[in-house]
Amino acid sequence: MDHFRRATELDPGKSRARLYLAAALAGQYIPGVDSPDNVQYAEQAIEQFQHVLDSDADQTSRLNSVKGIAYLYLNRKKWDESKTYYQKASLLDPNDPENYYSIGVIDWTRSYELRQQGRALLGVKPEDPLSSWHPEQKKLCDELRAQNLSTVEEGIDSLNKAIQLRPDYDDAMAYMNLMYREKADFECDTPSLRAQDLRTADEWVDKALAAKKHKGEKSNVVAPTTAPNPQ
């Protein structure tokens, strides 16, 4: 890492050295640890990645820098910043399903956190639907729909794009299940829509399990050690 840092000092415009330095700093960062030294690794890595983006670096270096920043923000739970950079990454490489998947994960996390906070304040159990007959629960349901519905719809759209690009993307399918369960909780005025969302969620569970099973079966196929006898 010191060699990469020295290279950037000798030639500040050398984007390749900055990219290597950023990657080395990011490698030192431990997700979930909020100590000042650890946070500094992430901040310094983001700074170096940003230098690459501000330079005339090639497309690959720019893409790696954008994804590096997005990943670091994601692990620091800076959801808005992370989503912004994953969106930039999807513009640089529209055919990478992982960018859309990450946006979907962020959207679900944002919605889930707000919903669970509201439910906890009212003492509603996670497995119980919000009731339109209970004034406080009805108010919470309306607030959550206003706050989260567009986020959930964006997340569903992003996960759909990820699955279109990678049809066996079982992780994205698992989050589609979670997304529709989020959406179902906003349907307290319309039980039939809630039931429909939950059925769709269950369908995505089945799809995720089938995709995971299929991938497992493919990985267990043993290639022949010799060519088959044509006779």
* 65 within domain boundaries: yes
100 with 212, same domain: the answer is yes
27 with 132, same domain: the answer is no
126 with 182, same domain: the answer is yes
Q: What is the largest CA-CA distance in the chain?
A: 78
* 87 within domain boundaries: no
70 with 100, same domain: the answer is no
| pLDDT confidence of residue 192 | 95
**Residue among 194, 147, 197, 150 nearest 176 (CA):** 197
- Evaluate whether 95 touches 162 at the Cβ level (below 8 Å): no
Number of domains in the chain: 2
Domain boundary among 18, 53, 82: 82
**Residue among 172, 178, 45, 205 nearest 99 (CA):** 172
Q: In tens digits, what is the pLDDT along the chain, a chain of 231 residues?
A: 544 444 444 344 556 778 888 989 999 999 989 999 999 999 999 999 999 999 888 999 999 999 999 999 999 999 999 999 999 999 999 999 999 999 999 999 999 999 999 999 999 998 899 888 999 999 999 999 999 999 999 999 999 999 999 999 999 999 999 999 999 999 998 999 999 999 999 999 999 999 999 888 877 655 554 444 433
Domain boundary among 82, 117, 150: 82
| pLDDT confidence of residue 19 | 87
| pLDDT confidence of residue 193 | 95
77 with 119, same domain: the answer is no
For residue 136, give the DSSP letter. H
Compute how many other C-beta atoms are within 10 angstroms of the C-beta atom of residue 142.
Answer: 15
Domain boundary among 20, 47, 82: 82
| pLDDT confidence of residue 217 | 83
| pLDDT confidence of residue 11 | 47
Task: Kindly state the tokens that stand for 35.
Answer: 């100590």
* 222 within domain boundaries: no
Domain that holds residue 38: 1-82
CA 99 to chain centre: 7
46 with 124, same domain: the answer is no
| pLDDT confidence of residue 15 | 63
Residues with Cβ within 8 Å of residue 114, at least 6 apart in sequence = 144, 147, 148
Angle, CA of 99, 161 and 148, to the nearest 5° = 80
| pLDDT confidence of residue 13 | 54
103 with 190, same domain: the answer is yes
* 8 within domain boundaries: yes
57 with 134, same domain: the answer is no
- Evaluate whether 71 touches 47 at the Cβ level (below 8 Å): no
